[in-house]
Structure formats: structure tokens, C-alpha cells
Amino acid sequence: MRETDVIIVGGSAAGATAAITARRHYPEKEVLVVRQEKQVPIPCGIPYVFGTLGSAAKNIIPDAMLEKEGIKIVVETVKALDPPKQMVSTTAGEIGYERLILATGSLPVRLPVAGAEKDGAFPIFKDIAHLEALQKRIQTATHVVVIGGGFIGIEFADEIQKLGGKTVTVLEIAPHCLSLAYDEEFCVEMEEMLKSRGVNIRTNVKVVEIAGDKQVQAVRLSDGTSIPAEVVIFGIGAVPNIEIAKTAGLKLGPTGAIAVDRAMRTSCEHIFACGDCAEKVSFFGGRPSPLRLASIATLEARIAGANLYDIRREHDGTVGVWSTAIGNLAMATAGLTETTARQNGYNCVAVIVEGPNRHPGGMPGGASTKLKLVFEKNTGVLLGGQVRGNESAGEIINIVSACIQKRMTAEDIAMFQTGTHPALTASPIAYHLVNAAEIAIARMRAVKQPNDTERQ
């Protein structure tokens, strides 16, 4: 039997980050990554394989990133865990360990309708061979249907549409695409952008069958209509990959993922879990959270890797920070939207400000930027924010996220000491974050009805 100090099962975003963190915090320990893929795709880059990048081979997490840290990699499939013996069984034998981190990720959901297993219907596995097979099919298809109007769905649709000569349709059961991620006014703007780029969008529709003989020929909807398709892509979410953990007797959480504490420890003291396979709780009230993002996975990995032999970090809960971009339109969210804040029982003040992200607005790189902040009315604490603009939206939302994590109030934000420059930022007179906070303060001090939204 082989022996090592630390085993990481899984080599994607969580696994790679956990390995690097473990090595840096415990340089005297040997760290071994066990994964079943020869090459690991960058998860968030997968949609861009089909248009912008043009090849799955251009979307790879480089092994050199691990090797330069002295981390060993073996390509083997883990068959079982034996927690009492601190042993992992793989297709190549048994490996003993002192500490183990499970970063087994998630598996895509395939819509539970007739025909979902037909040739031409593709869930999105994080596997190079699978992605190459999908790319090959897309190249010869004239009609592509994407089921699910979330991040993956709309990004896939836009990238495939770029190839030209195809009819691409997104089907979404909710009233709007991205409705779980943004408030309605943001969703509408993104739908309009997609339509302007040639993507067909149908919302409030339910798929009842993937039609065809052995191969996909059409998607049938509950209203009786049928949409031609040679390729159907499922972009309807993912479930935690927990089979080996479940079989080993590790405790599972309320969403079906591996139960962990704030230090990312499982029910077995020498086993940790992080990423999509691990249970999550919300930063807002500690309820179970269904969010699965690479940014969350890498945060959890940095906690797990640091805590292997000494508890050095704890998780405050999942805030939820994300962004998406189609063409020159970028949108991003941190924390709670106004809709989700109200659904969670918060008494909210929501403020929207809009203006250029340069001063004057005619400077190169300038774009109209909309910022929406949501505050808890009684305390003034920031609950969430949304941004619409150009590529700068991605970094603006990270600032908003930092404010949320530090539980900053509108007064704290209004007192920001900002650095500004005409070619880089909005004007110090009309700095979006500060102005939104000032308006929120005025709203909270005024006599008004609860849950009002102020726009400027």
C-alpha cells in the first residue's frame, strides 16, 4: 500500500486550490492529488470552448501550477474510502493518508423527461472528451436548443450563435432568464441583448419531451409546439457528487451534499470537503444554500487546506458573488437581490444609481453603469448589490461583496475614501457606490413606506 500525508480527491477548481493551500500552509507534508481526468477543464470557461476559444484544449487547468508547488498528481479513479483505516482505494491500488480532502465536485442534471437520453442530448460534464464530442456535433447542427436560461445556458447560446449558420433557442421555465440571479429589470436587459445577437428566447415554457427516433429531432413543449433540434444542451443545474462519501458513511447535509462545519471538516475528523460536493449555508441567516460556483469552491478550498492540522480559518457562510457577460453587456450580483431579500423577510431600502464609469463619460472605456444596492432598513447594513455595465462590472461587484462580508452600513460606505482618475473610474462627485449609500441614508431617515425602491 502506498502512503502519503495529504490526499486531495478531485483536481478541478476546489481540488487544485486545496492542494496548493495545503502545501503552502504545511510545506513539510507531502500532498497528492488523485483525479480521474488526464486534463481538467476550467469550469467557468467551458461555454467559451464553442465560440471564443474554439477548442477544449485551450481551456485547461495547467498541471504546472501544481507541480511547481511540489504537489504530486496521479490519474486514477477513486473506488472507495475507508475512514477508520484512513485509506483510499483506487483503480491502481490502496493509498494511506493522514488527512483527506474531498473535492469531487458536482454532476450535471439531465431533465427528467422522455427522450432525455437520446443521441444529441448533452448534459455538460467537465470532461474534455465529452466537450469535444459536443463541439463536433454542434459544428454540423443547424438547430440547437439550450434548456435552461441561467448563466451556463445563455453563455452557451451566445457562443454557439457566434459560429453562424445556426438557429439557437433558449428555453426557460421561469418568466425571465437569469431570474434566480438578478432582479427583473436586469434580466430584461440581458434578454434584449441576447435577442439583438440572434438568440431566440422562450420563457414561461415547459419541456415535455425530447423527440426523435434514436437521435434528437425536436423539443416538444407543454403548449403543444415543437422546436426543431439536432443538438439539445441541458443547462439546468448540478447536483453534488457524493457517492463515495455516502458509501463511506460520511454524514450528508439537508441539500444532499457532504455535511461540513465552519472549518470544512466532515463528520470524520481527518476528512475535509470543499467545493460543489460540500454542504453550504448562507451568509444571511445560516440557512442551507444551493449555490455552487467556482469562486465559492476556491474559498472553501483555502479554508480546508489551511485547517488540515490546525484550525486556522472558518467559513462565515456563502455570500454568493457572480457575473456574466454577453457582448459588451456585463452584469454582476453580490449577496441578496431585492427580490430574494424580501423573500427572506428583510425590510429593505433599495437604491439604483446610473451614470458613466469614467469622467467625463466620453473618455475611452466609458460606459453607462447601473448600480443597485439593497440595505436592511433598520440597521442600514448592506445586504446585496447588482451592477450592469461593461467589463468593469466584474471588479465593482467584488468591492460590493467585500462591503457585505464586513457587514458595512450605508454610513460606512458613504465615508469611503476612494481613489479616482478620469481614465479609470467614475467621477468622485458621482461615484456610484457612495452616491447610492447617501441616497439610502436619506431614505432610511425619511418617513416612508417600507420596502420602497429609490432610483436616480
CATH number at residue 98: 3.50.50.60
Which residue segment(s) compose the domain that 94 sits in? 2-106+239-306
Question: For the segment 199-238, what is each residue's pLDDT rounded down to a tens digit?
Answer: 999 999 999 999 999 999 999 999 999 999 999 999 999 9
Does 100 share its domain with 243?
Answer: yes
pLDDT digits (tens, 9 = 90+) for 118-140: 999 999 999 999 999 999 999 99
Q: Which of 216, 236, 256 is the last residue of a domain?
A: 236
Chain-centroid distance, C-alpha 11: 17
Note the pLDDT of residue 110: 86
- Dist. CA 445–CA 452, nearest whole Å: 13
pLDDT of residue 238: 95
Number of domains making up the chain: 3
Of 214, 236, 258, which residue sits at a domain end? 236
Q: What does residue 220 show for φ and ψ, rounded to 5 degrees? A: -100, 135
CA-closest candidate to residue 414, choices 393, 390, 445, 389: 445
Does some domain include residue 244? yes
Report helix angle 432-445 to 393-405, nearest 10: 40
Domain presence at residue 292: yes
**CATH (domain of 340):** 3.30.390.30
CB within 8 Å of 64: residues ≥ 6 apart: none
Taking 50 as the pLDDT cut, the residues of the chain under it are 450
Is the residue at 324 inside a domain? Answer: no
pLDDT attached to residue 21: 98
Task: Please tell me whether residues 26 and 83 are part of one structural domain.
Answer: yes
Q: Does any domain span residue 314?
A: no
Q: For the whole model, what pTM was predicted?
A: 0.95
Residue 426 counted as domain residue: yes
What are residue 26's phi and psi, to 5 degrees?
A: -130, 70
Q: Are the CB atoms for 162 and 51 separated by under 8 Å? A: yes
Q: Which three cell numbers stand for residue 21?
A: 493551500
Q: Is residue 170 included in any domain, yes or no?
A: yes
205 lies in the same domain as 272? no
Q: Are residues 132 and 206 in the same domain?
A: yes
Claim to verify: residue 434 and residue 337 sit in the same structural domain? yes
Report the alpha-carbon distance of residue 319 to residue 401 in Å, rounded.
8
- Do residues 337 and 445 both lie within one domain? yes
- Same domain? For 227 and 129 the reply is yes
Query: Based on the domain organization, do 71 and 8 belong to the same domain?
Result: yes
In a domain, 349, yes or no: yes
Residues in the chain: 456
Whether 216 and 259 share a structural domain? no
* Whether residue 265 sits in one domain with residue 378: no
Q: What pLDDT, on a 0 to 100 scale, did the predictor assign at position 453?
A: 59
Which triple of cell numbers denotes residue 369? Answer: 453603469
Which cell numbers hold the place of 338?
Answer: 431585492
Q: Are 66 and 21 in contact (CB under 8 A)?
A: no
How far, in whole angstroms, is CA 370 from its chain's centroid? 22
For the record, the C-alpha cell of 254 comes out as: 439537508
**What single letter denotes the amino acid at residue 272?**
F
Q: Is residue 134 in a domain?
A: yes
State whether 32 and 102 are in the same domain.
yes
Tell me, yes or no, whether 349 and 444 share the same domain.
yes
Domain boundary among 236, 254, 278: 236
